Structure formats: structure tokens, C-alpha cells
Amino acid sequence: MKTKEDIFWGKQRDVVLNETQRQAVVNTDGAMLLLASAGSGKTTTMIMKIGYLIAVKGLHPARIKAVTFSRAAAAEMKARFKHFFPELSPVDFSTIHSLAFEVVREYFRKNKRGYQLIEGNQNQDKRHILREIFKNVVQENMTEDQMEELTTYISFIKNKLIPPDKWVETECTIPAAAQILQNYEEFKSASDPLLLDYDDMLMYANKAFEQDKELLGRYQKMYNYFLTDESQDTSLVQHYIIEKLVRKHGNLCVVADDDQSIYSWRGAEPSYLLNFKKVYPEAAILYMEQNYRSSLNIVDTANTFIKRNKSRYDKNMFTHNPSHRPILIRGLADYKQQAKYLIEELKKSNHFCTTAVLYRNNSSSIILINELDRAGISFYIKDEDNRFFSHWVVEDILNFMRLTYTDKRIDIFEKIFTKLNGYITKQQLETAKKMNNNESVFDTLLQSVPLQDYQVKPLEECKETIRHMQGMAPLAAIYTIRHKLGYEKALERMCERLGFRKEYLLGILNTLEEIAAGLQSMEEFASRLKYLETVMKASKNNKDRGVTLSTFHSAKGLEFDRVYMIDLLEGIIPSSNDIKQQQEGRLEVMEEAVRLFYVGMTRAKTYLELITYEKRDHERVSESQFVAAVRNIINPSILSSTSNARSVKTVSPVSYNVNAIRRMDQLKVGSMVSHQAFGRGKIVAVTSSDIDIQFHGTIKKLSIEVCLTKGFLEPA
């Protein structure tokens, strides 16, 4: 007679689990930490485990709680479960925030305390409240970048449960961040009803369980088994909530990969996993190390690379997949060649939807969007970020350009007057505004407003420069704004005063110059920006047919046949801050950067290319130390004699030439070609590996592979 277990496995003949996965499914008593390497089939294993709990162990679906990292992940798990087990009742898949919301709602109802959520609330919006507090404290308007950093800082504080007396010690470049947070908390607490943001829900849920034993007891009895996914991204307060909920029965399955913990900046606590046995002494720890996603050469290299980190479980990711194409390290001479090179590579393939371009910062995507659109290549942006097009630096440049059409618009001048060489004070501007004479702003200031002697000449020069810019091509106009009108120096002063990152702001200007290149008028430039913003928004419709553009962070959990990792420079990945903190002894920050790079590598199934370059904005830059590490994992000098000979191929830095000969069939005897070093020549012989070219009476034998790969030849 067949047992429940026989029937269960018999129904799942299409699901083949390895021994570790099977152990993870059937081990249902007590706590378990399932360390799942990249591409190891953790979702399938979790779904099978839930099915096993119901079909074999007899647990009612309503008694199982599966906590995921996001609503999208919860929806995917729910769909996968229904696909695997259509005959079973649904299980409660949810985020930790939705669970906390249930607890908080009941806690406040019981205590007769009114509350109101302020995330996305039209009447009392979190961002609006913070803007008002920032303006009162700093006496400046807050930018979107500052808002992003401030909200991240607040979320970090709350998820780490950092006490108020330690807030000032938490790193943040926002002026008076701790004071702003204190004012924010006081404002919310003094309101009636009490105002809560999403992070408050976690804190109050944890507090409710600490203070109300009856409430905690009811939730403990509600569920007999807990599963948490992506637990390497779980914060301290979230861990504490789960800890309290499973305290009675101890039935907990934590699925995580400490090597993919990349969210400590918003409060994730990877060290909790390393100390899992201290919290759950009887816990089983299983290692799911077999990678089903990537080729052997990618898995071997990534596995060796992640071992740079010391604060991790000693896992050894492996695969039974065969080797495929070698990992390619592409060195270009200049940043501007990167997008052009990618376009040429993408044109060779029609399988856009299985290709991804990954980067650390969203700013890397703008030039790509511009070039992809011009090349007619469809793309999908994983984490659409329109902040570039509404950024105040972009708006400043457009306002300078608007002023060249009419310098009578004092409302436009008011937005930029502190960012040019005129040295005009707010009081002087107010005097000019009151005159409302519809004359040139510059003439009004020079003729009708009392000025200091040192102000007159710079203001006259600004007036002359603005008038000279009329009809100027946008690229030249941006250069003039940056250097002749003093905008770049003004940005440097703002960085010192308000904590902005200079490289980031200059990067926006450089990107604007890239977009402006080749355009004839400022109107055309403004239209191009508006058009690109529209194209970016529309890209969400291209998910199944376009090249995916994504940050490393947002690419986690995804997989692609081909992956290009770009902008791999010191100062970007790892960031300047990563390097600085490592030098100060905070090694965990650099370890997270290593994990981030590792996440990028392990998205690739069969093709992985790392792209770096030697110059950016006419200055020399250094390739990422992580690129050097990958190169050194397989020593290029002994590639031909090692067992890992096909794992990595390095291409030396060269200037990428879009006209270069890249195919063998373009090399024909009698054809005239041009070589980067030897000049014009005639092909006199071609073999399977070499080509003979006559240059000025001298015949040179060259490697075909080197010439094609490095783009040394082009048609004469």
C-alpha cells in the first residue's frame, strides 16, 4: 500500500530534486537554515516543501506562513505554488510589511489609538513632511537626491533599531540629518491620529509583540510553520518579529544566500545569518550549492571570486553544466566608446530579450538609452528611474538655454542667478523683481539696482556671454555654461556646503553633453530630453522583446543568456566610499561590494563580458579591482596550459572602432586595408590563422584573431 509520501513524490515526477534539495523538503521539524547558492533552484525547493507539509505532514494550508521580500515575489510564489499543486488550497504568501500591518492594526484597535499611514497619502505625505522640516532646519529646498538619501537614512535607523542618541553617529551627507529625523518623529507622534510610515509598522509590530503577550500568543497559535525567503535581505527588526512568532513551536525554514546580501545600506542584517545557531541552537544548516543556471567557466570563476570575502559560510558553488564561451574582459580606451561598442555587439544578435546590460548606478543607463534608441534597438529598463530628466542640474542647464532666447524673464533668472559668475544677492534680485519693467534682467541690475564695484564686470561678462550663446549648438552651449558662466564652480561650492557628490553632478553634465553631441539647436536638445524621458517610460512594455537594462541590485533573482557588466571602474564598483571605509577598517562595506559584483556575474547563463576603459572625460581612470581579481583567478599568461583554459579571455584596452573589420569573410586577397599602426596596406595572403599584408614594400604576417578581436584593421 502506497504511503502519503509515495503518492506525493509520484505526483511530482516532472520535478527532479538533488539530494540536498530533497533533504530541505522533508526536514520539517524545528528550525532550518537553507543556504541556497545562485541558480540552485531555491524557489522550486520552497514550493515543494510547502506542498510536502500539506500533502504528507497533514498541515492545513492556512497554518503555513511564507514571508517574501517583495509583493512581486509573493505573487510569483503564489502562482508557482498553484502551478505545482493546483489541487491544494492556497497558502498565505505575503511580505513582512503586510504581516506587520495586520499586527499594528489590531494593536492600535485594542488600545483605542487612531493612526494614519503617510506613504503615498495625499493629505499627509511622508515626503511632503520631510521637505517642510528640511526647509525649516537647513533653510534650503530639498532636492530629489537629498530626499532619496534622507529616506534611506531614516529607514536604516529604524530597521537597525538604532536609539536616538546614536542617530548622529550614523553616516549621512544630508546636513543636520539627525535633527531632521528627530523633528520628523516628534511631528508624527504629536499628530492626532498618530502618523506612521512603512518602517514604523515594523517597529510597532515588534513593540506590540514585546508589550502585549496575549496578542503575540494569538499570532503564535495562528501559524504552525514559517518560511522566509531572501532572508539575507531581512533587517534586524524583521528578524526579531519572526523570532517572536516561532518561539513556541520553533518550526522555521529560513532560505538565504549570505553571498547575495546586498542591501545593508537600507538595514539588511547579513550577520544575523552567520549567528543563526546562536538564536536557534538546534537548527539544521543545509547547503544548496549546485548551480543549474550558468556554464562551468562562469560558476568556477564566480565561486573563486566570492571567496575574497571572509565573513561568509564556506560554500562551494558547483555545476554539472558544460563550459561555454570564455568570460571576456573588454578594455576600451575611452568611456564614449562603451555605448558604441555595446550597440555593435547587440546588432549581431536578434535575441534581445535574453540579453542584459548591468551597471551599479542608474546614471549609466541614460547614454545607453540614447544610443539604443538611435540604433533602433528595443530595450526594457528593470528599475525605471526618471529622476535624471527632472534633476535640478538638467533643469538648470535648460534654464540657462532659455535665458539665451530672452534675458527679460526674471523668473528664469531667479532659478539660476546663484549659479553663475554674477555674484548677485537675493536682496538685489528682489529689488529688480519689484521693478517689473520687462527689460533685460542684466540691464535692470546694471542700471537700476545698487551694485558693489566687484559685481559690475562679472555681470557685464555674463550678459555678453548669454547674448553670444544665441543660436549656439547645444554641445557648445553646455560647455560655455559649465566654464565661462561658472556653473561648474558653483556646483563645487554647493557640494562643499550641502554634501552633494561632485562626481555624480558632473556625471549628469557629461551625460547631457553626450546627448547634445550632433544636435544643431537648443530646441532640438530640449526636445530630445523630453523624447528620451517618454521612451524610458514606454520601455516597460518591452519586457519580452527588448534588451534588459538594470542595476546590479535590481537584477538579483533574474537570469539571462548574455550579460554585459559595464562601467567597471574603481570609484564605481567598488565605490569611492567603499574604498574609503575599507581604509578606515570597515571591511564589511567592501565585502558587500564584492557580493554585488558576484550577483552581476551569476546572472549570466552562457556569456559574460566585463567592460572597463582607460579614460573618462579626458581623465585617466582605473579599472575595478574586481575586474583585476577575475583576471587573476585565471592567469592569462598560463591560460593554454591550465585546466581552466577556457574560463577567461582578456582583451587589452584598445580604441573601439565602429568601422573595424570584424569578420573573416571581409579579409580577401587583393583588398586594401588600413592598420592602426602600419597604415595603408594590401592583403597578399590569407590562411586559417594568419594574414599577410604588404605595407610600403614590406610584408607583415599578422594574427587574424588579434586583428579581428581588437579591431586593428578597417577597409582603406
664-715 has which fold?
Thrombin, subunit H (2.40.10)
Residue of 379, 367, 358, 338 whose CA lies nearest to 552: 358
CA atoms within 13 A on the CB side of 168: 3
Which residues partner with 36 through β-bridges?
288
For the beta sheet containing 31-36, the strands, ordered from the edge strand earlier in sequence to the opposite edge, are: 92-95, 64-68, 225-228, 252-256, 31-36, 284-288
Share of the chain above pLDDT 90, in %: 56
Q: Residues 351, 357, 358, 363: what is their CA dihedral angle, to the nearest 10 degrees?
A: -140
First-to-last C-alpha distance (Å) of the chain:
81
Q: What's the pLDDT score for residue 716? A: 82
Say yes or no: do domains 4-100+203-290 and 300-378+545-654 share a fold. yes
The correct CATH number of 4-100+203-290 out of 3.30.360.10, 3.40.50.720, 3.40.50.300, 3.40.50.2000 is 3.40.50.300
Which amino acid, one-letter code, is at 603? R
**Distance between CA atoms of residues 223 and 249, nearest Å:** 9
State yes or no: pLDDT of 697 exceeds 80: no
Q: What's the pLDDT score for residue 226? A: 94
Q: What's the pLDDT score for residue 268? A: 85
**Distance between CA atoms of residues 211 and 29, nearest Å:** 29
Sign of the Cα pseudo-torsion (243, 244, 246, 247, in order) = positive
Cβ neighbours, 10 Å, residue 327: 27
**Distance between CA atoms of residues 53 and 44, nearest Å:** 14
Helix axes 502-516, 392-405, angle to 10 degrees: 50
**Distance between CA atoms of residues 498 and 507, nearest Å:** 18
**Distance between CA atoms of residues 245 and 228, nearest Å:** 12
Phi–psi pair at 370, nearest 5 degrees: -60, -50
Q: What's the pLDDT score for residue 181? A: 95
Phi–psi pair at 92, nearest 5 degrees: -80, 95
Mean pLDDT of 571-575: 90
Mean pLDDT of 439-448: 88
pLDDT digits (tens, 9 = 90+) for 211-267: 999 999 999 999 999 999 988 988 999 999 999 999 999 999 999 999 999 998 878
Q: What letter does residue 91 receive in the DSSP assignment?
A: P
Query: Do 328 and 334 form a contact (C-beta atoms < 8 A)?
Result: no
pLDDT digits (tens, 9 = 90+) for 345-390: 998 887 888 999 999 988 888 889 999 999 999 999 987 667 889 8
Q: What's the pLDDT score for residue 504? A: 84
pLDDT digits (tens, 9 = 90+) for 8-22: 887 776 788 999 999
Angle (CA) 427 432 435, round 5°: 130
ω before 193 within 30° of 0 (cis)?
A: yes
The more confident residue out of 657 and 695 is 695
The mean of the pLDDT values for the chain is 88
**Residues with Cβ < 8 Å from 495, sequence gap 6 or more?**
501, 502, 505
pLDDT digits (tens, 9 = 90+) for 677-686: 778 888 888 8
**For the structural domain made of 300-378+545-654, what CATH number should be given?**
3.40.50.300
Query: Do 396 and 414 form a contact (C-beta atoms < 8 A)?
Result: no
Length of the chain: 716
Which amino acid, one-letter code, is at 407? D
Q: What's the pLDDT score for residue 312? A: 92
CA distances from 130 to 124, 339, 495, 572 (A): 11, 38, 21, 29
Phi–psi pair at 473, nearest 5 degrees: -65, 145
Q: What's the pLDDT score for residue 362? A: 85
Residue of 135, 177, 133 whose CA lies nearest to 156: 177
pTM of the complete model beyond 0.75: yes
* Residue 635 banded pLDDT, cuts 50, 70, 90: low
Most trustworthy range by pLDDT among 486-495, 561-570, 667-676: 561-570
State yes or no: pLDDT of 645 exceeds 90: no
Write the DSSP assignment of 312-327 as a string of letters. Answer: S-----B--SPP-SPE
Cα 276 vs. chain centroid, distance in angstroms?
A: 28
* Residue 639 banded pLDDT, cuts 50, 70, 90: very low
pLDDT digits (tens, 9 = 90+) for 269-322: 888 999 999 999 999 999 999 999 999 999 999 999 999 999 999 999 999 999
Mean pLDDT of 84-109: 91
Q: Please state whether beta strands 619-620 and 648-654 pair in parallel, antiparallel, or not at all (unpaired).
A: unpaired
Q: What's the pLDDT score for residue 655? A: 44
**Residues with Cβ < 8 Å from 618, sequence gap 6 or more?**
none
**Distance between CA atoms of residues 226 and 87, nearest Å:** 22
CA distances from 681 to 449, 671, 674, 700, 713 (A): 69, 9, 6, 10, 10
pLDDT digits (tens, 9 = 90+) for 394-441: 999 999 999 999 888 888 988 988 888 878 888 888 888 888 788 888
Domains of the chain by residue range: 4-100+203-290, 125-190, 300-378+545-654, 389-529, 664-715
Which residues partner with 286 through β-bridges?
34
Q: What's the pLDDT score for residue 540? A: 87
Mean pLDDT of 652-669: 69
Looking up cell 551597471, which residue turns up?
A: 359
Q: Is CATH 1.20.1540.10 what the domain over 389-529 is classified as, yes or no?
A: no
Share of the chain above pLDDT 70, in %: 96
The more confident residue out of 69 and 633 is 633
**Distance between CA atoms of residues 129 and 132, nearest Å:** 5
Which stretch of DSSP H or E encloses residue 509? helix 502-516
Helix axes 487-498, 474-483, angle to 10 degrees: 60
Residue of 109, 129, 248, 226 whose CA lies nearest to 181: 129
Looking up cell 570609484, which residue turns up?
A: 571
Rg (CA), the chain: 30
Q: Please state whether beta strands 327-334 and 648-654 pair in parallel, antiparallel, or not at all (unpaired).
A: parallel
Angle (CA) 523 526 531, round 5°: 120
Cell triple for 225: 510553520
pLDDT digits (tens, 9 = 90+) for 18-56: 999 999 999 999 999 999 999 999 999 999 999 999 999
Mean pLDDT of 459-475: 92
How deeply is 592 buried, as exposed, middle or buried, from its count of CB atoms within 10 A (0-12, 13-18, 19+)? Answer: buried
Q: What's the pLDDT score for residue 522? A: 94
State yes or no: pLDDT of 545 exceeds 60: yes
pLDDT digits (tens, 9 = 90+) for 618-631: 788 899 999 999 99
pLDDT digits (tens, 9 = 90+) for 154-194: 999 999 999 999 999 998 888 899 999 999 999 999 998 99
